[in-house]
Amino acid sequence: MTTLDPAEVFRQEASELFDVLEAALLDLGLRPDDKELVDTAFRALHTIKGSGAMFGFDEVASFTHEFETAFDRVRKGEIRPDQNLISVALAAKDYIRTLIEAPETTDSIIGDAILGDLRRLVEPESSNGEVTTTKPSVAPMQVRTGWQLHLEFDSDILRNGSNPLDLLDDLGKLGTCFAVALTEDVPFLDELDPEHCFLKWDVTLDSGCDRAAIDDVFIFVQDEMKLTCTPLAAAEVAPPLATVATPVGDPPPLDVSTDQANNPAPAPGRRWDDKAGGTVRVQAERLDELMDRVGELVIAQARLSQLASATEDISIKAIAEEIERLAASLRDTTMGARMVPIGSLFGRFRRLVHDLSRDLGKPVEFVTSGEDTELDKTMIERLADPLVHLIRNAIDHGIEDTASRTAAAKTDIGRIEITATHAGAQVLVAVRDNGAGLNTARIRAKAEEQGLIAPGAVMSDQDVYQLLFQPGFSTAQTVSALSGRGVGMDVVKRTIDAMRGSIDISTVPGKGTTVTLRLPLTLAIIEGLLIRVGEGRYIVPLSAVEECAELSVADERARGRDFLNMRGDLVPFLRLREMFDAAGEPDRHQKIIIASSGEARVGLIVDQIIGSHQSVIKSLSKLHSEVTMFSGATILGDGSAALILDVAQLIATGQGLSEKSFAKEAA
């Protein structure tokens, strides 16, 4: 059994904490008086520092301690967080992340510069211009102030990843601290469980700190301990106990089991021993492998069902039906395990919008909705780059500068909105801005200038908008660090096409633009319609099928026409027998499948509709990369292969034939 490296466990936990920290800092820029946000950021820093020291990331612990100390002044209300402080804090977070994930690429000069900026923002200057250093508040020695503490930890605290001696060490940073271990509950050696904590402590703390500072030391183990605090002035000091007194500054070594060492302290708001809401971290590669195995099982089950249908043995039919039910249940469960809320992706873009808004001098509000919409984890990973390009494009090209917005009687603050919604077997992800909208005439002129279209060519607005995704196409007047080179939107198009998705664009001049990405729920398994064309069998994605009908005699005889009249709507159609060069005579009663992608539709004429089929998608080889009308292949129950039709490409082909047909009739 493979065991994760403890350092890798820390990196994974730290990654989650960085997301929490960044979200808190960005929210703090909008709500600087929100104490809960300050506490959230401070807790994340405290955990990163403590866990970093535990796993040997000493430089991380040292840098984060400086960051934490400086930010503590914000927490105490001595400093009000402004945009300058938030920007420096975000830079510090980025530096800490680099120290953890790629320490060999870090430069200590950058870290020192960040800490210097941080100190200048949070520490007041003395009368001679020198920056004062924040130090722990310690009461004068002649007046003894402090606390008498009694600590009792749950027996499972070691197993949960916390070390009481580390907590006592943190307590000692508040002032002079003397701890006495109470050993009366420690069993005999043959009864001792090394993973249980049997010790209690009486602690005398000489410090002028308040009770809140003490609570902060134990903030992550409050549910796993009993803490009694009494001010020294009111405490009844007991006579010395006949036990060994241990100075906190030099704790003895603690025998920690392997399982404990491999599990860091739980993140804020999580209890690893919580049976009701417990989670297990699984490597992504294992989920991918499991999905592959389930796919093979679905294929084997289809073959079994086909064999069972050819026999009269009722017991074999019953077993085949039971296997089919179990395989379907396992498939749904496995796919569910791969589904991730898309909100985990949306959160990454808040920082992007924040930085672009600052760099371009355009105040921009970022709004998201539909964060609970789930999508396959592989889809989420592939979707990140296209959304980055769309957001950058919307802020740089779509949102006007403040002067232009004022002149147009619009609010000074621009707005970028990302939404996610389910639509049948698809997920719609929309990026919407309230900018100036697309200039259709300008796009056409630029496309004619670059030779992408012929001057005066008849094109719909949607066709014009699709020119934005051509490689090298850009309407920017000048090349900047953000745009103007024509690189970005073509990447969006290629990525979405590879995900079997499509892109719709709608715009209102002066009001804004919406780019909608239509995506399948998963890339692994689809529900399809199995059809026959000649002797070959093919799969049409069921999510793209609108209706099926028989080809009428009139349509069959209209050999020179390339569109159908479907209840008053003209729909281009394709004779798949001709496209696939199928041998033999067509069936007497051919069928029409109306398939759609976005607002566009196409009719597919086939010989036979066999029925629905659950298809495990297999990628085509590089030798077939030029065959654009197929998006993949699947294995049928009899072991033969069937190609999966790419509906978007077929629609584009059908529209081209339809335009030629209309032009021919007009002539």
Find the CATH number of the domain harbouring 159.
Answer: 3.30.70
* Separation CA 302–CA 313 (nearest Å): 17
Average pLDDT over residues 215-220: 83
Tell me which residue range forms the domain holding 390.
352-520
| Residue 102: φ, ψ to 5° | -145, 65
Question: Into how many domains does the chain fold?
Answer: 5
* Separation CA 552–CA 570 (nearest Å): 15
Q: What is the CATH number of the domain that holds 617?
A: 2.30.30.40
Instruction: With cut-offs at 50, 70 and 90, classify the pLDDT of residue 348.
Output: confident
Q: What pLDDT score does 432 carry? A: 93
Chain mean position to CA 185 = 47
Q: Which range in 82-86, 130-134, 158-162, 283-287 is most confidently predicted, on average pLDDT?
A: 82-86
* Separation CA 366–CA 351 (nearest Å): 10
The answer on 211 and 318 residing in a single domain is: no
Q: Is the pTM of this model over 0.75?
A: no
Q: Quick check: 64 and 49 in contact, CB under 8 A?
A: yes
Instruction: With cut-offs at 50, 70 and 90, classify the pLDDT of residue 532.
Output: very high
Q: What is the CATH number of the domain that holds 12?
A: 1.20.120.160
Of the given ranges (81-85, 202-206, 473-477, 618-622), which has the lowest mean pLDDT? 473-477
Residue with the two structure tokens 């953890």 = 100
* Separation CA 462–CA 482 (nearest Å): 25
Which of these three, 504, 520, 536, is where a domain ends? 520
Average pLDDT over residues 497-516: 87
For the chain, percent of residues with pLDDT exceeding 90: 6
* Separation CA 200–CA 164 (nearest Å): 10
* Separation CA 381–CA 198 (nearest Å): 46
Q: What pLDDT score does 36 carry? A: 86
Q: Which range in 119-133, 350-364, 484-498 is most confidently predicted, on average pLDDT?
A: 350-364
Q: Quick check: 122 and 71 in contact, CB under 8 A?
A: yes
Helix-strand-coil percent breakdown of the chain, rounded to 5? 45, 20, 35
Instruction: With cut-offs at 50, 70 and 90, classify the pLDDT of residue 269.
Output: very low
Which of these three, 481, 504, 520, is where a domain ends? 520
Which tens digit of pLDDT belongs to each residue from 146-156? 888 888 988 88
Across the beta sheet with 176-182, the strand order is: 225-231, 146-153, 200-206, 176-182, 245-247
Domain assignment present for residue 375? The answer is: yes
The answer on 504 and 370 residing in a single domain is: yes
Q: What pLDDT score does 312 carry? A: 87
Q: Name the token pair of 3.
A: 């065991």
Chain mean position to CA 384 = 8
286-311 as b/e: b if 16+ CB within 10 A: eeeeebeebbebbbebbebbeebeee
* Separation CA 118–CA 133 (nearest Å): 12
Q: What pLDDT score does 476 carry? A: 60
Q: Quick check: 612 and 542 in contact, CB under 8 A?
A: yes
* Separation CA 87–CA 110 (nearest Å): 15
Domain assignment present for residue 91? The answer is: yes
The answer on 560 and 582 residing in a single domain is: yes
Residue 264 makes CB contacts below 8 A (sequence gap 6+) with 6, 9, 10, 13, 51, 54, 55, 161
Closest-CA residue to 595 (of 541, 665, 557): 541
The answer on 508 and 531 residing in a single domain is: no
* Separation CA 393–CA 396 (nearest Å): 5
CA distances from 556 to 218, 546, 572 (A): 80, 21, 14
How many CB atoms sit inside 10 A of residue 196's CB?
15
Average pLDDT, the chain: 77
Average pLDDT over residues 307-328: 88
Domain assignment present for residue 269? The answer is: no
Instruction: With cut-offs at 50, 70 and 90, classify the pLDDT of residue 239.
Output: very low
Domain assignment present for residue 545? The answer is: yes
The answer on 536 and 515 residing in a single domain is: no
The answer on 543 and 462 residing in a single domain is: no
Average pLDDT over residues 19-27: 86
Average pLDDT over residues 311-315: 88
The answer on 553 and 640 residing in a single domain is: yes
Q: Name the token pair of 536.
A: 């070959």
Q: What pLDDT score does 124 carry? A: 56
Average pLDDT over residues 382-392: 89
* Separation CA 158–CA 192 (nearest Å): 14
Which of these three, 250, 275, 310, is where a domain ends? 250
Rg (CA), the chain: 33
For the chain, percent of residues with pLDDT exceeding 70: 81
* Separation CA 199–CA 243 (nearest Å): 12
Domain assignment present for residue 131? The answer is: no
Residue 448 makes CB contacts below 8 A (sequence gap 6+) with 454, 455
Does 132 score more than 70 pLDDT?
A: no
* Separation CA 504–CA 496 (nearest Å): 11
The answer on 547 and 475 residing in a single domain is: no
Q: What pLDDT score does 655 carry? A: 65
- What is the phi-psi region of residue 361: left when phi exceeds 0, alpha when psi lies from -120 to 50, beta otherwise? left
Three-class SS of 57-70 = CHHHHHHHHHHHHH
Contacts 24+ apart (CB under 8 A), 107-114: 111/63, 114/88
Domain assignment present for residue 138? The answer is: no
Q: Quick check: 178 and 203 in contact, CB under 8 A?
A: yes
Give me the amino acid identity at 607. D
Q: Quick check: 628 and 646 in contact, CB under 8 A?
A: yes
Q: Quick check: 364 and 356 in contact, CB under 8 A?
A: yes
Closest-CA residue to 51 (of 18, 24, 19): 18
Q: Residue 537 pairs with which residues in a beta bridge?
A: 532
* Separation CA 563–CA 592 (nearest Å): 12
Domain assignment present for residue 132? The answer is: no
Fill in the DSSP letter of residue 584.
Answer: S
Instruction: With cut-offs at 50, 70 and 90, classify the pLDDT of residue 430.
Output: very high
The answer on 489 and 356 residing in a single domain is: yes
The answer on 303 and 240 residing in a single domain is: no
Query: Pick the residue with more confidence: 451 or 482?
Result: 451
Closest-CA residue to 556 (of 608, 609, 605): 605
Which tens digit of pLDDT belongs to each residue from 542-576? 878 888 888 776 666 555 566 777 777 778 888 88
Q: What pLDDT score does 431 carry? A: 93
Query: Pick the residue with more confidence: 487 or 655?
Result: 655
Average pLDDT over residues 236-259: 37
| Residue 163: φ, ψ to 5° | -120, 110
Q: Quick check: 627 and 620 in contact, CB under 8 A?
A: yes
Closest-CA residue to 427 (of 344, 516, 366, 491): 516
Burial (CB count within 10 angstroms: exposed 0-12, middle 13-18, buried 19+), residue 252: exposed
Domain assignment present for residue 259? The answer is: no
Query: Pick the residue with more confidence: 559 or 375?
Result: 375
The answer on 434 and 386 residing in a single domain is: yes
* Separation CA 392–CA 354 (nearest Å): 11
* Separation CA 436–CA 433 (nearest Å): 9
Q: What pLDDT score does 482 carry? A: 53
Which tens digit of pLDDT belongs to each residue from 588-630? 888 889 988 766 788 888 999 998 877 777 777 777 767 778 8
Fill in the DSSP letter of residue 453.
Answer: S
The answer on 657 and 640 residing in a single domain is: yes
Q: What pLDDT score does 373 carry? A: 87
Of the given ranges (43-47, 73-77, 615-619), which has the lowest mean pLDDT? 615-619
